[in-house]
Structure formats: C-alpha cells, structure tokens
Amino acid sequence: MKRALKRLLGEVPLTAETYWWLRQRGQPVVGFRLEQLTPLLPRWVVQAQQAASDASPGKRVFVFATLHYWLASTTALSLALAGLGHRVTLGYLPYRDWQRRYDRFDLRRADAYARWVLRPMRSVVRLQSLLGRRAATLPRALAEAVRQVAVYDVQYTRQVERVDENDPLFRLRLQRNTAAAGALLAEWLQHHPDVVIIPNGMILEFGAALQTARFLNIPVTTYEFGEQRERVWLDRNRSVMLQDTTALWQAVRHQPLTEEQEERIRALFAARRGGKLWANFARRWQNAPSAGGEQARAALNLDPRRPVFLLATNVLGDSLVLGREIFTPSLAEWVRQTVRYFSRHPEAQLVVRIHPGEQRTEGTSLAEVVRPEMGPNIRLVPADSPLNTYDLIEIADAGLVFTTTVGLEMAMSGLPVVVAGRTHYRQRGFTFDPETLDDYFRILDALIADPARHRPDEARVRLAWKYAYHFFFDYPRPYPWHHVYRGEDFQRWSIADSLARDDFRATFEAFVGHPLPWETPSAASAHN
C-alpha cells in the first residue's frame, strides 16, 4: 500500500516537494547526497562572480550530469566556466544509481534536495532539472543510437558481451536513456547551446546525451579521469573513452624527447614494473613486485626451447573495450580464437594473463573462455595471481592484446606486439595491426616461425617510448578536481585558486572549444 501510495503521489504536483520540505529539508534522499558541496558553494559562487566581472562574455555552455557524484563534479566545473564569462546551464537528473528503478515520488524528493543544495549557484549558473522537462519524441536514427547505448550499459554493468533485450536491466536502461535523450532534445531545441559538456559519453545517460548533441550537430566535449591526480582526458564530438590520440601523435611524432622527458617516462615504467606508486599516479599496477623472468618461467613450467606468446586480457564490459572490435565480434571471441589457434600449434606456448581488474568485478571472467579451449601448451594466469606481468613480458617472445596498455609496454620492452582491438596506440608505427582474422593468423604464423626476426628494431622501440611519454604526460590535461578524489580536491582547490592557474584555465577553455596544445585553431574549430 505504501508503494502504491507513493506511485500515486508521485504524479500529483508539489506533493513530493512539500513532503521533503516539511519532513526532510536539507537532508539527502534515497542515498542521493551532495553534502560535500554545502559548505563550499557560497564561497565558490562569490569567487565565480568576482572572476566573471573581469571576463569577456563567452559561450552558451550546457553541462550535463546524472548520478549524485557526477553532479558534484560538474558543479565545480560549471562555476569555473561561469567565472571565465561563459553563460552556463547545469542540466541534471537526480539519480543515485543507474541499475535501480525509482518511484517518481522519491525522484522528485531527490530533485528538491538537489535544488536546495545548489540554490546559491543561481546567480551565476542556470540550473535545469530535466526530471520534469517535457520530452520530445526521438527521431528513428537517434532512438537507434540510444538503444545501442543501453546495450553498452548492460555490457558494462554485467561484464558480459551478449545482451538479452528481455533483461530487466536492459529495459530499465533503455527507458532511462530514452527519457534523458527526449528531455535533452526538447531542451536544446528551445535553448540551443554553443557547446555541450558531458562526462564519459559512452554509457548511461551520458551516452544518450552525446548521441543527442551529435544528432543536433551541437559541438560537444566529453571528459573522463584516468590514473593521475589533477589530470583529465578530453575529446570532442565523440566519447573520450575512445582515447583518440591521432592529432596529438601527428603533432609530436617527429619531435625527439629531451633527456628530462626520457628520464621521466623511464621512472614511470620502472614504477609500473615494480608495483609502486609514482608521482601523481594514484594506483599500483601489479599485485607484487618483480621477482624476475626465470622465476615466472619456472612457476608456469614453460619450455625454454619453444617461443612464448603473452596474451594480456582486458576486463569484459569495461568502457575502454566497448565498441572496439575489428575482426572478431567480441573480445571474448578474439580470446577464444587465439586459444584455439595455439592449441593447434604445440610448437609455441601461450600464456594468458587475466586482467587483475577482474578481482573487482562480478561478471564473467575471461578465464571461463580460456579453460575449455586449453591445450597442454597453454598456461592460464588468473586475475589474483601474484605473478608480476612484467616478469611475463621478460620471458615472452611476442605479445597479443586487445586494447590493454600492457601492449604498449610490451612494445617498449622490445617485443613484437599484435593489436586486435581499436586501442589508442594501434597504427602508431610500432605494432602489428591486422584488419581481418586471416591477417591475424598469418601474423601469428610468421611470429611462431621466427619470432626474433620480427622483433622491433631500435627505432620502433624508441617510437613506442616516445608515444608512451606523450600519452601519459601530454594527453591528460591539467585539471584541479579528479572525480574519484573530489572530496579532497574540493578542499584543496577553490574556484579562485583554480582560475589563478594558467594551466587549469587553459583546460577550462579547452572544454568549450579552445585549441588543445597540439591542435591548430582551425582544427579545434572543425571539432567544435
């Protein structure tokens, strides 16, 4: 009866808002929490107003967020852009979770809470809840694009590749994404922004927002965070999760690294190999420090007379895997085809290193794909194995990858590397990049026949090191508030302090279309 009453009251105007105001004013609802912002916003708003008073009028910017933690992150960004003189709208949906179905009564209470917390911003940022926005009907092409986002959502959430469209999660994600796209379509047709800013852009309502902006030909910037504190990834008119480094690489490929740059990338590589934290990188890359290649060979009982191929997997459903297939329909099928191939080739040995990140997921492990196909010349290293991946690289004769960054590091170590997915370092001059399954098998045949002959020469190895430097140190742009560490970063970086830093200001302006350091103004305009 309580649920039925909530559903009924959820459709009656002002009931949920009145209930929240009288019974819960100032309190989070159903886990939708923004308390980090409450003590900061009054001071931040004053700082944004002061900065804006000296700024020239800028662009009409629409920043989109859903999920309470992303709303907190985009609030800081919105105020910084307003401080630079841009006319900013922060549009949001008051969801706490992307997998749970909420009563409209609860959503309206969460929306009332969000409006109460964000109310100090109204003098500098236009706030637009999309919960009550009348939605436009999606044209067929946009509806199909939004449906694909729902497929990605299920793959991402369940860590699977096959999606049952009768799955309640798929139906929920399709409904939520469609509603978000319809609300944004109506909003942007009425108030046409100069640029839209969206986190991620691949999955959830963020993916639906990107597809809607692209449908309307509105310039859009997507962004996401990697391993480094005070850094952010940016891209234009596509999901940043694709990590397209083409323009960057074209600009820097022929510039030699300085001695200082070489020392920096070598120090990072040493830290990754040793399982240590380094500089502003916030995680370790290995479960254990290096113990040496020969110990790894002995632990896996590998034959020193036969070549060793190291296959490093990704995590199924990860945002850096979705939509990256080239010559197999899925990551799992590429792994399956590879294991079957080596089962027919006992003259070589295959070591399959399952991604350590699987320890933090609940979906299908790629180990389940490998085990049924394994011949006696194949070794499986599970996600929780204490073996250091870099010790495996030391004894390998060649590397096989889908999109994992381990492939780049294998190339830096002087191995021939075969790339099977659309990763950022594919076709950069130091990997084998097959376009068909037959091409892939022909490359494997050649590597098995004579792996030493196909090792990259010194120039290609140096090219891999150069690329790694620019990917790790230039591609991520300076930015004050890392999403994962936003609580600490909010305390460290105020709006005023962030706008006082030239490198942060340059990134803020890049959000609205100003050129990145490796772009010409004309190239940036083409994107925006």
Last residue of a domain, one of 450, 473, 496: 473
Give this prediction's pTM: 0.91
pLDDT tens-digit readout, 290-312: 668 899 999 999 999 999 999 99
pLDDT tens-digit readout, 5-48: 566 555 666 677 787 888 888 888 878 999 999 999 999 999 99
pLDDT category at 275 given cuts 50, 70, 90 is: low
Last residue of a domain, one of 473, 491, 516: 473
What is the CATH classification number for the domain harbouring 407?
3.40.50.12580
Question: In this predicted structure, what is the pLDDT of residue 159?
Answer: 87
Q: How far apart are CA 77 and CA 63, in angstroms?
A: 8
pLDDT tens-digit readout, 385-444: 988 888 999 999 999 999 999 999 999 999 999 999 999 999 999 999 999 999 999 999
Assign 90 to helix, strand or coil.
strand
Question: In this predicted structure, what is the pLDDT of residue 283?
Answer: 42
Is residue 225 located within the same domain as residue 111? yes
Is residue 439 located within the same domain as residue 511? no
**Residue 157 phi, psi dihedral angles, 5° rounding:** -75, -45
Question: In this predicted structure, what is the pLDDT of residue 313?
Answer: 96
**Average of per-residue pLDDT across 317-325:** 88
Is residue 227 located within the same domain as residue 102? yes
DSSP class of residue 305? T
pLDDT at 206 over 80: yes
pLDDT at 281 over 50: no
C-alpha neighbours within 13 Å on the C-beta side of residue 14 = 1
**Average of per-residue pLDDT across 305-320:** 92
Question: 503 or 286: which carries more pLDDT confidence?
Answer: 503
Is residue 263 located within the same domain as residue 407? yes
**Average of per-residue pLDDT across 465-471:** 97
Last residue of a domain, one of 456, 473, 490: 473
Is residue 331 located within the same domain as residue 352? yes
Q: Measuring CA to CA, how many Å separate 452 from each of 391, 415, 456?
A: 19, 9, 9
pLDDT tens-digit readout, 98-121: 999 998 889 988 999 999 999 999
Question: In this predicted structure, what is the pLDDT of residue 364?
Answer: 79
3-state secondary structure labels for all residues of 445-502: HHHHHCCHHHCCCHHHHHHHHHHHHHHHHCCCEECCCCCCCHHHHHHHCCHHHHHHCH
Is residue 386 located within the same domain as residue 440? yes
**pLDDT, the chain, mean:** 91
Is residue 34 located within the same domain as residue 75? yes
**Average of per-residue pLDDT across 446-472:** 96
Question: In this predicted structure, what is the pLDDT of residue 320?
Answer: 83
pLDDT category at 2 given cuts 50, 70, 90 is: low
Question: In this predicted structure, what is the pLDDT of residue 279?
Answer: 47
Residues spanned by the domain of 54? 2-247+479-527
pLDDT category at 273 given cuts 50, 70, 90 is: confident
pLDDT at 132 over 90: no
Assign 63 to helix, strand or coil.
strand
- 206 Cβ neighbours under 8 A, 6+ residues apart: 64, 66, 198, 199, 200, 222
Is residue 224 located within the same domain as residue 239? yes
pLDDT at 495 over 60: yes
Question: In this predicted structure, what is the pLDDT of residue 7?
Answer: 62
DSSP class of residue 193? -
Is residue 293 located within the same domain as residue 361? yes
Is residue 211 located within the same domain as residue 285? no
**Average of per-residue pLDDT across 202-206:** 97
Is residue 114 located within the same domain as residue 87? yes
**Average of per-residue pLDDT across 364-380:** 93
Is residue 192 located within the same domain as residue 310? no
Question: In this predicted structure, what is the pLDDT of residue 277?
Answer: 45
Q: How many domains does the chain have?
A: 2
Assign 405 to helix, strand or coil.
coil
pLDDT tens-digit readout, 34-85: 999 999 999 999 999 999 999 999 999 999 999 999 999 999 999 999 999 9
CB 95 within 8 A of CB 107: yes
